[in-house]
Amino acid sequence: MGILEKIYDRSPIFIQNLMVTISGYQKNRSRYGKIYYRYLHFLKDFDKLDLEDKFEYQNKELISFIRYVYENSKFYKNLYKGIDIESIKCVGDLKKLPIVDKEMIRANINDINTISHKGAIEGHTGGTTGKSLVVLMTPEDFMKRMASLDHFKSRVGFENLKMKRATFNGKHIVPPKQNKKIFWRYNAACKQMIYSSFHITEENMKYYVNSLNKYKPESIDGFFTSICDVASYIERHNIKLEFQPIAIFPTSETLTKSGRELLERVFKSKVYNQYASSEGAPFVTECEKQVLHIELDSGVFEHFEKGNDEVLITSFTTHGTPLIRYRIGDSMTFDEKSKTCDCGVRSSIIKEIQGRKLDFLYTVDGAKINAGNIANLFKNMPNALVRAQVIQNKIDEINILLEVDKRLYKAEYDNLLKDEFLHKFGDKTRIVIEHLDEISREKSGKFRLIKNNIN
Ligand SMILES: [Zn+2]
């Protein structure tokens, strides 16, 4: 633990708010420089372009990015030996280049990087496979990425830094010994109330809701499951909200249909999804019509192979740790037909983001059941269920952990749930239900609906 954290932990809460704010102002300096504002301006103009002009821009960016990487990254120079780099002139030519995966990046990180740690912004990638990776971003790329995210929000009416946001994340803002029921801190530099994901329990929930009602955020962002937990509590206890956010922007988790519906019902506000990994992948964002658009200025998405929805990404904002045809581990269904959207922004459209491979469970026969389908199995008991987690350690056994509202939960629900799961997974699967007072979170503060420990 650093000296600053020690001071933080021992300070009264108003000093902690001040420290969070000072750190916020420091971060803003690397986020909101000249390049940020210039790129924000560029994106507004880019939105108005025709699809052909956007593709032309994308090809140009691709050519210059690949040249830069070839000249500056030892790893890629070796990897592309014998390939005529000059012959890569458009997205279609990318097929001439080999695919890169996470293990290759991890094992060769020093040869891949084109910049040193000094002055770079680090991106940490997680954890679903246990493999963690630190990527380096140039300050220019980092600012462009910030501009892209803020532009996405501004399209649906939320202006970052000008409007109030509530963020649910995995920052350690509450000292371990704190007794007061104050699980949030204010970062005045970003008009942002940060809520701790680690302390979201049934018991503490009323304090969170009171705080939200007092703060009246204009947007809510951060961990999807944390926001869902709060929404579920508000609905179950029939609490009146004294604010209506403009938008909800969940991050870092695969969204479920039932969760989205819950958030939109409770907060009376639309949910806008985004795909933006910490490795620095190109962006996919949802527009005001709730259609997923590929942000063509940010990079390229390809499918891994025909008939497989797994994507390869090439990202133009990864000059530090370049990612070209990188197998990121996420799956998406492309909408090959529609190129227009009622929102007016023309781009390639994504039908669905399925998320990480590990967001699946297996049937005995090896078929995959994805997170969305699993979430659906719980929908018949929305008001009695606080939280659930489904774990698979063996191919023929599914463990369901339940945290329930004891006032509303009926004993027969266990059997109902078992039936739903058997129906989906087949009779050869053993379904084991266990009730817990509290299901624990990941170290990152995120909550996982599914844990697939097979392999
Ligand atoms: Zn649209």
Per the CB < 8 A criterion, the answer to whether 197 and 221 are in contact is: no
Domain containing residue 343: CATH number? 3.40.50.12780
* pLDDT the model gives residue 330: 85
pLDDT tier for residue 91 given thresholds of 50, 70 and 90: very high
pLDDT tier for residue 225 given thresholds of 50, 70 and 90: confident
pLDDT at 216 over 70: yes
**Whole-angstrom distance, CA of residue 239 vs CA of residue 237:** 5
pLDDT at 16 over 50: yes
Task: Give the range of the structural domain holding residue 84, as residue numbers without chain letter.
Answer: 32-154+275-356
One domain for residues 23 and 167? yes
Ligand 1 centroid to Cα of residue 398, in Å, is 39
Q: What percent of the chain has pLDDT over 70?
A: 97
Of 271, 305, 330, the residue at which a domain comes to its end is: 271
Of 356, 385, 408, the residue at which a domain comes to its end is: 356
**Whole-angstrom distance, CA of residue 208 vs CA of residue 420:** 33
Residue indicated by tokens 């097929």 = 95
Neighbours of 55 (CB within 10 A): 16
Range with the poorest average pLDDT among 100-109, 136-145, 364-373, 393-402: 364-373
Per the CB < 8 A criterion, the answer to whether 138 and 27 are in contact is: no
* pLDDT the model gives residue 408: 83
Domain containing residue 409: CATH number? 3.30.300.30
Is the CA virtual torsion 295, 298, 303, 309 positive or negative?
A: negative
pLDDT tens for each residue of 53-73:
999 999 999 999 999 999 999
pLDDT tier for residue 445 given thresholds of 50, 70 and 90: confident
- Please count the residues of the chain: 455
Ligand 1 centroid to Cα of residue 286, in Å, is 7
pLDDT tens for each residue of 123-147:
876 544 445 678 999 999 999 999 9
One domain for residues 258 and 285? no
Closest to 251 (Cα-Cα) out of 453, 51, 18, 445? 445
**Mean local confidence (pLDDT), 203-209:** 95
* pLDDT the model gives residue 382: 62
* pLDDT the model gives residue 230: 95
One domain for residues 178 and 244? yes
One domain for residues 143 and 281? yes
* pLDDT the model gives residue 130: 44
pTM assigned to the model: 0.84
Neighbours of 158 (CB within 10 A): 22
Ligand 1 centroid to Cα of residue 258, in Å, is 22
* pLDDT the model gives residue 356: 66
One domain for residues 211 and 343? no
Ligand 1 centroid to Cα of residue 347, in Å, is 8
Ligand 1 centroid to Cα of residue 228, in Å, is 25
pLDDT at 287 over 80: yes
**Mean local confidence (pLDDT), 287-297:** 96
Domain containing residue 194: CATH number? 3.40.50
Range with the poorest average pLDDT among 194-198, 271-275, 441-445: 441-445
One domain for residues 186 and 85? no
User: Which residues have C-beta within 8 Å of that of residue 345, sequence separation ≥ 6?
Assistant: 47, 155, 287, 293
Is the CA virtual torsion 97, 102, 106, 112 positive or negative?
A: positive
**Whole-angstrom distance, CA of residue 387 vs CA of residue 385:** 6
Question: Residue 327, SS3?
Answer: strand
Ligand 1 centroid to Cα of residue 22, in Å, is 37
pLDDT tier for residue 252 given thresholds of 50, 70 and 90: confident
pLDDT at 332 over 70: yes
Q: Tell me how many domains the chain contains.
A: 3
Per the CB < 8 A criterion, the answer to whether 355 and 363 are in contact is: no
Of 271, 301, 336, the residue at which a domain comes to its end is: 271
Residue at 346: amino acid letter: R
